[in-house]
Amino acid sequence: MSVQKKARTQPPGLYVGTDKHRWWKEAVVYQIYPASFLDTNGDGWGDVPGITKKLDYLKDLGVDVIWVSPIYKSPQADMGYDIADYEDIDPSYGTLADVDNLIKEVKKRDMKLVMDLVVNHTSDQHAWFLDSRSSKTSSKRDWYIWKPAKYDADGNRQPPNNWAMILGEANPAWTWDEGSQEYYLSLFTPEQPDLNWENPDVREAVHDVLRFWLDRGASGFRMDVINLISKVQDFPDADVVVPGNKYQPGDKYFANGPRLHEWLKDINRQVLSKYDTITVGEMPFVRDEDEIIRVVGAESEELNMIFAFDLVDIDNVPGDFKFTLHQWDARDLKRIVSRLQRLMLERDGWNSLFVGNHDQPRSVSRYTDDSDEWREIGAKLLCMMQTTLAGTIYVYQGEEIGMRNVPPSWDPEEYKDIESINFFKKNAEMYPDNAEKRAYARKVMQRKARDNARTPVQWDDTTHAGFTSANSKPWMRVNDNYTYVNVAAQTSGASASTSVHTFWKRSLEYRKENKYLYVYGDFELINPDNDTKNAAEIMAYRRWSKDRAVLVVLNFSGKEIEWELVNGMKIDKWIAGNYGEVNLEEKAKSASVLLKPWEGLIGELE
């Protein structure tokens, strides 16, 4: 990918790129889901030494920061997002000494480590909760959210309100404790009781957890569902939005609650400001721009950036639960992408760029066509989008080789995630002997389940894809396509030079070489109106710095499209694309350009 550095005429419009340069804005963050990354001791479960072993691979890809999903001591009810001890490592992952060694090796390579901070809730096996549930008079009782039961007209015991459990949709968010005869709030699963942040001792204890890891050498945190820590204190019933369900999404009362900003500022002032950190808050449900800017605005002193859910919610039926299928096209994509891009530029905030993680299906399957014919082109198209937008890049393990969803033929038993299991079970309970509902549930799971992202990383074409030794049993089945979709084939095989992996590596390099344009530059959507020709297929935008501008055109459809360059726009040179260099030479530079299915192009503008 050659780059011309000659001066360009300034495109119209005020330049609102930022000159507040920060290392964490330029960083490429790679998310590791440790159970599925690499197993080094043959127990079929990925481990910390497995991460250390692949640091050179990550460095070579262009990664600056690794974010490791939870490795703390945990009963693994929700794959470690249920923490039983914040200051120790689960033996299935290794030891604290292994982590110290990981940190040392990370630093040696001039990289950084981000820990996953899960402090909206703990495990029900955490010492705090064991104490809290032991009796109503326990000194830790108030560390969690306990409420007496309600009784209906027939005298049946009912939870304190109608909120639905997040990882079990049709179940209540409250769990009855037989021993102490009260309900506790458990928004995700009964094994994940919510902490009571109203109690200052809880907040102090959380600050100590942060200090513990920063002092050990971590460089920041990905903060799990951090916008749920403050709940409306009279715990009102949620509005009924899913007719027929007893329990309803209660996010209006627990997402971005009344004291969120106060507590985030506290964390920042008392802990984060004393270190040089990168922070990203996972924030489901929030759409309000003022709320977002209050967290990530340059002056806000809360967090560097958040994970907004707009893009990964694109195929959910609005207002409904996640196991639904909603049709979308490039118009939705444009609306979502440009809103967040413009918001951060105009109001001095900062974006995170991600299209996948351990909670989402594989991006190549969700946003493009993952069939053998189009998978590579699709993965490269998404890479082009990610590496040409403004924000901090997050790559999820396996994304760099275009890993895709599990095959539709897999039995429901292959799905190991508590969310999928709960969903499938509830579906069977609600519609017994209904073959059609069962088939539909299987279909939605194959499209939306978190399991899709959790299959082991495909390192090579040997048994179990090189994730674990040949005679062990991986904790989760390896995607059947590992024989031809794997790291080895894409980094050293005959087709390595045109692989998805090589494309990612070059694109990350290219982005870094041109950071004033891609990381810090301005952004403008071309053809924002939805009634223009090909609005449903093409997303095109212009990026510009003070002295040059590029056009990015992405065909989010399997159709060939003749796309008209608007307003006499002229391309000086097509500099990159996902169909290879030769293809670029054939492209027209003015009037209109012919795009192949799922084709993406970057052109230097005259």
Show which residues are catalytic.
224, 282
**In the range 29-68, which residues lie near ligand GLC by CB under 6 A?**
none
Structure tokens at 232: 């409306």
* Given 86, 163, 188, 467, the residue binding ligand GLC (CB under 6 A): 188
Q: In the complex with Ca ion, which residue's Cβ is closer, 45 or 510?
A: 45
* Given 39, 47, 90, 359, the residue binding ligand GLC (CB under 6 A): 359
* Spacing of C-alpha 168 from chain mean position: 20
Q: Does 224 bind ligand GLC (CB under 6 A)?
A: yes
Q: Does 41 bind Ca ion (CB under 5 A)?
A: yes
d(CA 13, CA 260): 36
Helix residue ranges, H only, 514-555: 515-518
Q: How far apart, in Å, are the Cα atoms of 326 and each of 150, 166, 168, 313, 338?
A: 37, 19, 20, 9, 21
Q: Does 537 bind ligand GLC (CB under 6 A)?
A: no
Minimum distance of ligand GLC from residue 167's CB (angstroms): 6
Look at residue 118 and give the partner it binds from ligand GLC, Ca ion, none, a contact being a CB closer than 5 to 8 Å depending on partner kind: ligand GLC
- State which amino acid sits at residue 301: E
Look at residue 133 and give the partner it binds from ligand GLC, Ca ion, none, a contact being a CB closer than 5 to 8 Å depending on partner kind: none
Minimum distance of ligand GLC from residue 101's CB (angstroms): 26
Look at residue 73 and give the partner it binds from Ca ion, ligand GLC, none, a contact being a CB closer than 5 to 8 Å depending on partner kind: none
Look at residue 224 and give the partner it binds from ligand GLC, Ca ion, none, a contact being a CB closer than 5 to 8 Å depending on partner kind: ligand GLC
Minimum distance of ligand GLC from residue 272's CB (angstroms): 20
Residue length of the chain: 606
Minimum distance of ligand GLC from residue 357's CB (angstroms): 7
Q: Is the dihedral of CA 419, 484, 505, 115 positive or negative?
A: positive
Minimum distance of ligand GLC from residue 78's CB (angstroms): 5
* Given 32, 58, 117, 225, the residue binding ligand GLC (CB under 6 A): 225
* Given 29, 30, 39, 517, the residue binding Ca ion (CB under 5 A): 39
Q: In the complex with ligand GLC, which residue's Cβ is closer, 118 or 382?
A: 118
Q: Does 417 bind ligand GLC (CB under 6 A)?
A: no
Minimum distance of Ca ion from residue 163's CB (angstroms): 37
Q: In the complex with ligand GLC, which residue's Cβ is closer, 173 or 595?
A: 173
Minimum distance of ligand GLC from residue 476's CB (angstroms): 15
Q: Does 47 bind Ca ion (CB under 5 A)?
A: yes
Q: In the complex with ligand GLC, which residue's Cβ is closer, 37 or 541?
A: 37
- Structural contact between residues 388 and 602, judged by C-beta atoms closer than 8 angstroms: yes
Q: Does 504 bind ligand GLC (CB under 6 A)?
A: no
Q: In the complex with Ca ion, which residue's Cβ is closer, 41 or 95?
A: 41
Q: Does 98 bind Ca ion (CB under 5 A)?
A: no
d(CA 453, CA 466): 17
Residues contacting 153, CB < 8 A, separation 6+? none
Q: Does 124 bind ligand GLC (CB under 6 A)?
A: no
Q: In the complex with ligand GLC, which residue's Cβ is closer, 228 or 385?
A: 228
Q: Which stretch binds Ca ion (CB under 5 A): 39-47, 102-110, 147-155, 190-198?
A: 39-47
Minimum distance of ligand GLC from residue 282's CB (angstroms): 6
Closest CA to 202 of 180, 235, 176, 230: 230
Beta bridge partners of 562: 594
Q: In the complex with ligand GLC, which residue's Cβ is closer, 224 or 313?
A: 224
In the numeric block, the tokens 């021993």 are attached to: 179
* Given 118, 271, 381, 549, the residue binding ligand GLC (CB under 6 A): 118
Q: Does 85 bind Ca ion (CB under 5 A)?
A: no
Q: How far apart, in Å, are the Cα atoms of 427 and each of 121, 147, 170, 284?
A: 27, 29, 9, 24
Minimum distance of ligand GLC from residue 138's CB (angstroms): 24
* Given 39, 78, 313, 537, the residue binding ligand GLC (CB under 6 A): 78
The angle that helices 200-216 and 260-270 make with each other, rounded to 10 degrees, is: 40
Tell me phi and psi for residue 595, to 5 degrees: -105, 135
Look at residue 463 and give the partner it binds from Ca ion, ligand GLC, none, a contact being a CB closer than 5 to 8 Å depending on partner kind: none
- Structural contact between residues 164 and 170, judged by C-beta atoms closer than 8 angstroms: yes
Residue 519: burial class (beta carbons within 10 Å; 0-12, 13-18, 19+): buried
Look at residue 332 and give the partner it binds from ligand GLC, Ca ion, none, a contact being a CB closer than 5 to 8 Å depending on partner kind: none
Considering CB under 6 A, how many residues would be counted as binding ligand GLC?
10
- Show the site string, 211-240: x = touches Ca ion by CB under 5 A, - = not: ------------------------------
* Given 24, 45, 144, 579, the residue binding Ca ion (CB under 5 A): 45
Beta bridge partners of 163: 248
d(CA 334, CA 329): 9
- Structural contact between residues 16 and 341, judged by C-beta atoms closer than 8 angstroms: no
Q: Does 423 bind ligand GLC (CB under 6 A)?
A: no
Residues contacting 335, CB < 8 A, separation 6+? none
**In the range 459-478, which residues lie near Ca ion by CB under 5 A?**
none
Q: In the complex with Ca ion, which residue's Cβ is closer, 71 or 565?
A: 71
Minimum distance of ligand GLC from residue 39's CB (angstroms): 20
DSSP codes joined into one string, 323-369: S------HHHHHHHHHHHHHHHHHTT---EE-S--TTS--HHHHHS-
- Structural contact between residues 566 and 524, judged by C-beta atoms closer than 8 angstroms: no
Look at residue 302 and give the partner it binds from Ca ion, ligand GLC, none, a contact being a CB closer than 5 to 8 Å depending on partner kind: none
Angle 546-580-501 from CA coordinates, rounded to 5°? 85
Assign 117 to helix, strand or coil. Answer: strand
> What count of other Cβ atoms lies within 10 Å of the Cβ of residue 467?
27
* Sheet strands side by side (includes 278-283): 305-308, 278-283, 220-223, 112-117, 65-68, 28-32, 392-396, 352-353
Binding site for ligand GLC (CB under 6 A): 78, 81, 118, 167, 188, 224-225, 282, 358-359
Binding site for Ca ion (CB under 5 A): 39, 41, 43, 45, 47
